[in-house]
Amino acid sequence: MKTWRSLLPLFFALGITALSIAELFSVGSGYAIRQLIWVGAGLLAFGFFYKAISPLTLRRGAEIIYWVSVIMLVAVLFLGGPGARRWFSLGFMQFQPSEIAKLAALLVISKTLETRPPETGRVLAGVGYAFVAFALIFVEPDLATAGAIIALSTSLLIGSGVRLPLLLVLYAPLFAAISSFWLWSFISLVIGVFLLSRLMKMGWGYTLGLTTLVIGVGLATPLIWNGALKEYQRKRIIAFFAPQAHSTKAGWQALQARVAIGSGGLFGKGYRKGTQKGLEFLPEAHTDFIFAAVGEEFGFLGCAAILGLFALLLWSLVRAAFFTEDPYLGNLIVGATTIIFYHASFNLLSVLGLFPVAGLPLPFASYGGSHLIMEFSLLGIVAASVEEEMRRRAY
């Protein structure tokens, strides 16, 4: 694997960025110029993680980086801006500690799960790291970004070869929370978990403990729905199932995004000729809904170009993961791939009306500094990990 191939993900990401900047000039030249500055900062971050600091150095400092990010997550709850406490205002930009937390969680969980398969103690430690970051981001509140931590930890657990019983402990409560709103689905899940545990010849202590956990989560979920989730979060989920009924409220964003994409046709309305965006029917055309803005002006071909570049980006990342034999380096690449895939898939599904509006930026495309710098940092870590693997094979 030649050196230039370790940079393939960067090339595809820059292709996505170039298309998005062209669209941002259509939305407003001010957005595009500021985005170019953030791209420059992102490339500096890429270079730092690619050449200035090795993955092995990051491994040694993983715990320190993680706990610094935790302190920042706690601080933003008390010092952040009004409303949703997610940002520090630095004057020239809004800084999100949750972006640092994703990177820090990647480093520390990758290190924790580097043995194959990891011991139970390491698995529990990895889950603990993920839970602390998830909980602090969740209470900001930022449910969608918190979900990235769950996706990250899950992919690393599966990739590390964690045994099925432990995965059951992790996943069964999630399914219990989802099914708790439908009585017979919940009852079926409880019975299924009990029977599966017995068929796997797990001990009675494990079986009863897991079943009790599922029941407890199922009973607590409705309380959390009514007590912990903010009204706008509940509205977004409800609007997903009936956006037309909420067309002037929470469903407005998803509905107008679909109108924009559908009206673009095959070739689009033409550059700077989008009416949904131009008349401001399409909200946040420069951030979360930039894909819809591209669809309106460049049509199916523009959307296909972005989707194709994302497919190539993910292919190059998966290819790098398979190339890497070292467990820690492999974990870094798998985790980086998961974060990018999670953000891209949830953003695109939200825009297409296939998932509740998540409020997640489209990687390398949406306007914004914090997420763009983090994403290029991930690619820098991937490139450095691939080259570290090549150096090891050379000796």
Instruction: Report domain extents, the chain.
Output: 3-394
pLDDT tens string 344-362: 998 888 888 777 777 788 9
Task: Residue 58: name the closest of 338, 340, 381 by CA.
Answer: 381
CB atoms within 10 A of CB 149: 27
Q: What is the pLDDT of residue 121?
A: 80
CB atoms within 10 A of CB 181: 12
Q: Give CA angle at 150 (148, 152), nearest 5°.
A: 65
Lowest mean pLDDT across 48-57, 289-298, 327-336: 289-298
Q: What percent of the chain has pLDDT over 90?
A: 35
Q: Per-residue pLDDT averaged across 46-59, rounded?
A: 94
Separation in Å, CA 248 to CA 234, 239, 251, 253, 278: 16, 11, 7, 9, 19
Burial 188-202 (b: 16+ CB within 10 A, else e): ebbeebeebbeeeeb
Q: Which two tokens mark 376? A: 């290029």
Lowest mean pLDDT across 200-204, 261-265, 373-377: 261-265
User: Residue 121 forms beta bridges with which residues?
Assistant: none
Helix H or strand E encompassing 89:
strand 88-89
Which of the four pLDDT bands, split at 50, 70 and 90, describes residue 278? Answer: very low
Which of the four pLDDT bands, split at 50, 70 and 90, describes residue 18? Answer: very high
Show the DSSP H helices in the chain as ranges: 8-27, 29-47, 55-60, 62-79, 97-112, 120-138, 143-159, 164-179, 183-199, 204-227, 231-241, 252-264, 275-278, 290-323, 327-351, 370-394
Q: Give CA angle at 136 (73, 252), nearest 5°.
A: 100
**Which of 392 and 60 is assigned the larger pLDDT?**
60
